[in-house]
Amino acid sequence: MKVAIGLGCSLGPRRRMLELTVQKLGAHPGLRTLAVSRWYRTPPMRGGTALGWFANGVALFDCALSLDDLLATTRALEEASGRRRSRHWGDRTLDLDVLLAAGARREDSSLTVPHPGIAQRSFVLYPLLEVWPDAVDERGLRYADFAEPDMPRPAPIGIMPRPKAR
Ligand code: A4P
Ligand code: MG
């Protein structure tokens, strides 16, 4: 099953944290990395208590895990990063959201998939479309159609380094 994970970090060496996290996810026996978006530098979303800028991006995996096991895996990585959960939408060392899973729909107290914020959050939508251009929501609507011309585009902060081709 193809799954997209959204990554965010607003404390410390943000880009390094996100790159390490993608490596750790890809090293999980139930996950194989398919694609990683560029990293984006984004202002904190309105309404939150976060103070610093965020680094955001999206990684795509071939996933052999159940959604519950995937959520347990992402939570364990958040915990290992030293994330504090006290303030809702506050600064965090690592925030991992299960954005989308091909053909899967789920809505209960532990998990909502597709993630309900994708279409409204440019820092999620644009990197998602980079790695999964034909992604569709639970109604079959293309996320690409939500990217309106006047929607602010987040600024890329760099491309994850890849091994040089020989
Ligand atoms: N949960 C339900 N659905 C999901 C899902 N699809 N993926 C549950 C992951 N978790 C899901 O999440 C609370 C609970 O949501 C989890 O225990 C899980 O069972 P959390 O990550 O602990 O709480 P949170 O992140 O503080 O709140 P929330 O509502 O998830 O916030 P978001 O949506 O993650 O937004 N600004 C910028 N620029 N960039 C950001 O990345 N992120 C946030 C947090 C705010 N502002 C931001 C950014
Ligand atoms: Mg979250």
147 touches ligand 1 (CB under 6 Å): no
Flag whether 138 is in a domain.
yes
- Residue 53: pLDDT band (50, 70, 90) is confident
Flag whether 163 is in a domain.
no
* pLDDT(135) > 60: yes
Q: Which of 42, 53, 89 to mutate to test the pocket of ligand 1 (most atoms within 8 A of CB)?
A: 89
Question: Which ligand neighbours the alpha carbon of 116 most closely?
Answer: 1
Q: Tell me the C-alpha to C-alpha distance, in Å, between residue 135 and each of 60, 89, 105, 109.
A: 11, 26, 14, 24
CA–CA distance, 37 with 8 (Å, rounded to integer): 12
Flag whether 78 is in a domain.
yes
Give the structural domain span for 44. Answer: 2-158
- Residue 148: pLDDT band (50, 70, 90) is confident
- Residue 50: pLDDT band (50, 70, 90) is low
Q: How far is the CA of 154 from the centre of ligand 1 (A)?
A: 19
Give the number of domains in the chain. Answer: 1
* pLDDT(166) > 80: no
CA–CA distance, 157 with 14 (Å, rounded to integer): 11
72 touches ligand 1 (CB under 6 Å): no
Return the minimum-mean-pLDDT range out of 55-64, 78-87, 110-119, 125-134: 78-87
What's 17's domain CATH number? Answer: 3.30.70.560
Question: Which ligand neighbours the alpha carbon of 7 most closely?
Answer: 1
Instruction: Spell out the residues 6+ positions from residue 40 whose beta carbon is closer than 8 angstroms to its own.
Output: 55, 56, 57, 123, 126, 127, 154, 155, 156, 157
Please name the residue whose Cα sits nearest to atom 32 of ligand 1. 89
* pTM higher than 0.85: yes
Q: What is the pLDDT of residue 47?
A: 63
Flag whether 164 is in a domain.
no
- Residue 64: pLDDT band (50, 70, 90) is very high
Q: How far is the CA of 97 from the centre of ligand 2 (A)?
A: 5
- Condensed to tens digits (0 to 9), the pLDDT of residues 81-124 reads 886 655 555 667 899 999 999 999 999 999 999 999 999 999 99
User: What's at 63, amino acid-wise?
Assistant: C
Query: Could you give the 3-state DSSP secondary structure of residue 71?
Result: helix
